[in-house]
Amino acid sequence: MNPSEVVTLAENAVMMALVLAGPLLLVGMVVGILIALFQATTQIQEMTLTFVPKIFAVMVTLLFFASWMMTKLVDYTEELIVSIPLIIR
């Protein structure tokens, strides 16, 4: 196994992590910005106001994308397992 194969495996793993975490992080960021704008306009500075909507939005997003995320992860894992003989040659 040469260094370029190791870099390719690491690159694929990081890319898969970003693809799987992207929708959840994006929804959390958008909801956080909306709540920050709401707090700035109304001058309500309640700390718990930021957590509950973000947690709820991320959980709903996770329920919505769970099957897609699992399919992507299973496909990646199958591809990785199939490529083991090529990796250890």
pLDDT 10s digits, 22-80: 999 999 999 999 999 999 999 888 888 889 999 999 999 999 999 999 999 999 999 99
Provide the CA 62 distance to its chain's centre, in angstroms.
Answer: 9
Instruction: List the alpha helices (DSSP H) in the chain.
Output: 3-42, 48-82, 84-87
pLDDT tier, 9 (very low <50, low <70, confident <90, very high otherwise):
very high
Query: What is the value of pTM for the model shown?
Result: 0.81
Provide the CA 50 distance to its chain's centre, in angstroms.
Answer: 20
Is pLDDT above 90 for 1? no
Task: At 32, list the tokens.
Answer: 């956080």
